[in-house]
Structure 1
């Protein structure tokens, strides 16, 4: 894991914290739905981001053989 990946992980964690804190400050049905949608998109972005370095690393390893 390089520094670039750690930076993006930190960005995702801070974003998650900010969204949950803002939702906790103003709990309503619409705000909760909005937060859940934003968190779902954030989660999807994190999954795609965390999978791409692993796939590129395996591609580099297989091309060396």
Structure 2
């Protein structure tokens, strides 16, 4: 989504991010793009990163996906 488009649809972007649980990448001229994510997705990503910091956490996460 282009930055001018996101400004014009300012209220729609966060609503769609939360409802769809999908991130939106907002490119910015002359700057790095930013990513808008829902709080739930952000918290889940942080939790996963925390769990992957140690070998025991990695084993637990990999074991959670095993039958």
* Same fold, TM-score > 0.5, yes or no: no
Query: Which structure has greater helix proportion?
Result: 1
Structure 1 length-normalised TM:
0.31
Structure 2 length-normalised TM:
0.31
